[in-house]
Structure formats: structure tokens, C-alpha cells
């Protein structure tokens, strides 16, 4: 896994020209995604804030590195983005399978050592991927000298032998609400897809309406008196499948834990889900100090950090320490919680007590999960149909 210092030295392929709100809590995660995997990254982006600042034509914030490689990005509808990204994975698997078949059929035309290297390459880290790219360059050079239709076909598919990283990206309105059915289907597929949920806990792009990610007692459009139901636990729903990698992260709370989660999710050869705390101007906070505020979210137990890795005997790893900050001290700094105190103090007190209960019960549940064991799961490479 790359260190923070190594990441800083890497060229980003997501520039500062994204036109998001000043201090946006989503964009650092997208930038990190490109720094880690940008030269082999495919992004399926749900409609929402991230698709607007990610596709503000005629310009684009997505670019290439010094080698001319960069992300392939596309935006689909709000309700079918998970399926859209799933289709990318299926297409890549098909191309990978065809390339392997054609390579195996070119008997004698390709040196056995090169063929073996291409077919058996372990592309689990950047060094392995770089080595595979060098083999593909050599393969193309050899194919160019062959007068064979299969060789010509393989030349068009050779790049598929290099492992690609597919990420399905969107906000909580998509993941928790409108696109949840498709997301659930994709997470249950067993395929090597990665999902990044930029969780602002509200429909940010359309004016701040409440979503199933909105916490109890928070004020939003359609929840003007404070939301009266608890936040949906998307992470535990995904973890219940048993073969899905799940992480909950917050860059401002624990930078190394976030980087580690991204690296682990991408290395995992099955479905993965990262839920990233994304502060938003709709929260009514001081955006200049928002990253420090993220730490308070973790310290209060409001946003526990964890990684659920099915490859471990104890899959659920609670990365946060027990809450040490009163929840009320955290929520008092956000207008979405504080406004109801001014408008209806009695109601606010009741909802705040219920939200504190939600936080306490969730923490106790996560502590129990952190001691649970299961038989480790190795998803292996996805099937090529």
C-alpha cells in the first residue's frame, strides 16, 4: 500500500478545475481515487454533484498523466448507475477472456516465456501491473509481424490483459435511495467491482432534501421539523452478504485509514463498498474547518471508522476508538441540527436524545461485530464468460 508521502509525489489525474463548491467534502476522495488507480481507472458516475463537477463540459477535470494514461469516465442515469458500472466490468471480463483464448491459440508464434508471463501475471500491485504492461508492449510488437487474422484480433484486445479498476461512484441519494435496488444487485454479483459512496447525508445537488442517509434529528427539505427515523446502515446491509469488502472512512478523521481502505478495496477481487463521509455546504458548517470537523464526527461516535474484509478470520475491524466527545458538542456546530433547537427546543431535545441513543447502540453493535469470527473468504479472480 502506498504511503501518504508516496501519494503526494504521484501526479493527480483529477485537477482543481472541477467547479465543485469551495471546500467540497467529496472531491478529495475522487482525487485520491485517481492518484491510486488513475492510469487504469474506469468510472461509472451517478447523476448528482459528482457528475456535475466531473462533467462540466466543454471542459473536464479528468486528465492524463505523463504517459498519456488517465481515467475513462461516463455518467449514467440516477437510477441505474450501479448496473452501468456492472456492464463495464462484464465487458472487461469478456475482453480479458477473449484475449487469453487468442493468446493460447497462437501456438509457436509467441515465445512460451512471454505467453506464460502474460497468462499467469499477478497484478496485485503497481509493480505487477507495470510488468504486465511491458509484456503487452512486447506482445504487440511480435503480433505486428504476423500475417494472421487471430493475431490482428489479439492486437486490438492485448491491453485487456492489463488489470483495470472499475469504480461505481455516486452520492447517498443514489446509493441509499433511488439506485439502491441496482446497487444491491451488483454487490450480490460476486464480480470485481468497487463502489464509492460520497455520503453527504442529503440530496445535495437538488437542494438538500432528506435521504435515507440523513440522520435522525437533522433538518432538511421534507424534514423541516427534523428527521424522525434513524439513518440506514448501508455498510451492514452489504456486509451481510459475507463476500463484500466494506469500509467506512473519513479523510479528516484518519487519513491513513482512508488510503488503506481504498487500497484494500481495489485489491479485493470481489465486490467492495466504501462509504466516505463528505461534509457539505448543506450541513450549515464552517467549510474552512470542515476536515477538523470530520475528526469530531469520528470522536463523537457519529461516524465510526471501520473496515470489513471477508479475507480475515475476524472480518470486522473497528478502526475508531470509543467515543470521547459528546454528540451534542459535534452537532451544535452544524446548522442542520442546531436550527431545530431555535425553532422547537422541546422537540429538538427529544430528537437529540434519540440520536444519541442511535449512536450508542450502533457503537455497541460494532464492538460485538469486531469480536465475531468466520471462515475467511477468497473471492479469487472474476469469471470470464
Give me the pLDDT at residue 78, please. 83
* Local structure of residue 104 (DSSP, 8 states): H
Give me the pLDDT at residue 7, please. 59
Q: What is the pLDDT of residues 269-327, one digit of tens each?
A: 999 999 999 999 888 898 999 999 999 999 999 999 999 999 999 999 999 999 999 99
* CA 368/CA 363 separation, integer angstroms: 9
Q: Is the dihedral of CA 52, 56, 61, 67 positive or negative?
A: positive
Q: What is the pLDDT of residues 130-150, one digit of tens each?
A: 999 999 999 999 999 899 999
Give me the pLDDT at residue 124, please. 86
CA 110 from chain centre, in angstroms, equals: 38
Give me the pLDDT at residue 385, please. 43
**Strand-pair partners of 44:** 74, 168
Instruction: Please provide the average confidence, as pLDDT, over all residues in the chain.
Output: 91
| Confidence at 179, pLDDT banded by 50, 70, 90 | very high
Do 62 and 13 touch, CB atoms closer than 8 A? Answer: yes
Instruction: Tell whether the model's pLDDT for residue 383 goes beyond 50.
Output: no
Give me the pLDDT at residue 384, please. 45
Give me the pLDDT at residue 350, please. 94
Give me the pLDDT at residue 192, please. 96
* CA 278/CA 104 separation, integer angstroms: 47
Q: What is the pLDDT of residues 82-137, one digit of tens each?
A: 999 999 999 999 999 999 999 999 888 899 999 999 999 999 888 999 999 999 99
Q: What is the pLDDT of residues 1-38, one digit of tens each?
A: 566 556 555 656 665 577 788 889 999 999 999 999 99
How many percent of the chain have pLDDT more than 70? 94
* CA 261/CA 57 separation, integer angstroms: 31
* CA 121/CA 132 separation, integer angstroms: 7
pTM: 0.93
Q: Is the dihedral of CA 329, 332, 333, 334 positive or negative?
A: positive
Please name the fold of domain 4-75+164-369. Rossmann fold (3.40.50)
Give me the pLDDT at residue 360, please. 96
| Confidence at 65, pLDDT banded by 50, 70, 90 | confident
- Domain boundaries for CATH 3.40.50.970 within the chain: 4-75+164-369
Q: Which of 358, 370, 250 is nearest to 298 (CA)?
A: 250
* CA 385/CA 100 separation, integer angstroms: 12
| Confidence at 206, pLDDT banded by 50, 70, 90 | confident
**∠ at Cα 115 (268, 264), nearest 5°?**
10
The H-assigned helical ranges of 170-254 are: 172, 180-187, 234-239
Amino acid at each position: 500500500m502506498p504511503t501518504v508521502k508516496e501519494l503526494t509525489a504521484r501526479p493527480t489525474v483529477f485537477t482543481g478545475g472541477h467547479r465543485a463548491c469551495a471546500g467540497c467534502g467529496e472531491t478529495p476522495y475522487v482525487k485520491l481515487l485517481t492518484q491510486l488507480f488513475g492510469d487504469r481507472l474506469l468510472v461509472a458516475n451517478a447523476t448528482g454533484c459528482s457528475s456535475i463537477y466531473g462533467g462540466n463540459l466543454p471542459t473536464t477535470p479528468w486528465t492524463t498523466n505523463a504517459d498519456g494514461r488517465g481515467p475513462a469516465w461516463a455518467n449514467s442515469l440516477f437510477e441505474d448507475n450501479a448496473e452501468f458500472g456492472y456492464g463495464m466490468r462484464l465487458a472487461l471480463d469478456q475482453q480479458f477472456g477473449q484475449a487469453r483464448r487468442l493468446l493460447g491459440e497462437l501456438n509457436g508464434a509467441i515465445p512460451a516465456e512471454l505467453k506464460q508471463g502474460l497468462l499467469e501475471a499477478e497484478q496485485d500491485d503497481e509493480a505487477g501491473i507495470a510488468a504486465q504492461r511491458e509484456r503487452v508492449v512486447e506482445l504487440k510488437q511480435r503480433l505486428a509481424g504476423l500475417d494472421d487474422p487471430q493475431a490482428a484480433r489479439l492486437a486490438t484486445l492485448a491491453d485487456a490483459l492489463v488489470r483495470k479498476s472499475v469504480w461505481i461512484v455516486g452520492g447517498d441519494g443514489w446509493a441509499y435511495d433511488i439506485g439502491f435496488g441496482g446497487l444491491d444487485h451488483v454487490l450480490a454479483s460476486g464480480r470485481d467491482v468497487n463502489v464509492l459512496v460520497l455520503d453527504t447525508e442529503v440530496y445535495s445537488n437538488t437542494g438538500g432534501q432528506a435521504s435515507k442517509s440523513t440522520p435522525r434529528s437533522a433538518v432538511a427539505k421534507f424534514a423541516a421539523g427534523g428527521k424522525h427515523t434513524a439513518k440506514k446502515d448501508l455498510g451492514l446491509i452489504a456486509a451481510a452478504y459475507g463476500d463484500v469488502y466494506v469500509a467506512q472512512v473519513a479523510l479528516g478523521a484518519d487519513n491513513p485509514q482512508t488510503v488503506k481502505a481504498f487500497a484494500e478495496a481495489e485489491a479485493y477481487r470481489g465486490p467492495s463498498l466504501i462509504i466516505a463521509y463528505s461534509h457539505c455546504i448543506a450541513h450549515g458548517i464552517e467549510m474552512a474547518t470542515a476536515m477538523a470537523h470530520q475528526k469530531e464526527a469520528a470522536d463523537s461516535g457519529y461516524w465510526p471508522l471501520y473496515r470489513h474484509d471477508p479475507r480475515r478470520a475476524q472480518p470486522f475491524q473497528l478502526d475508531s476508538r470509543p467515543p470521547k466527545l459528546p454528540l451534542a458538542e459535534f452537532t451544535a456546530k452544524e446548522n442542520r441540527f442546531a436550527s431545530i433547537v431555535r425553532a422547537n427546543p422541546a422537540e429538538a431535545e427529544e430528537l437529540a436524545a434519540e440520536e444519541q441513543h442511535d449512536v450508542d447502540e450502533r457503537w455497541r453493535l460494532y464492538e460485538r461485530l469486531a469480536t465475531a469470527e468466520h471462515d475467511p473468504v477468497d473471492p479469487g479472480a472474476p469469471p470470464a464468460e
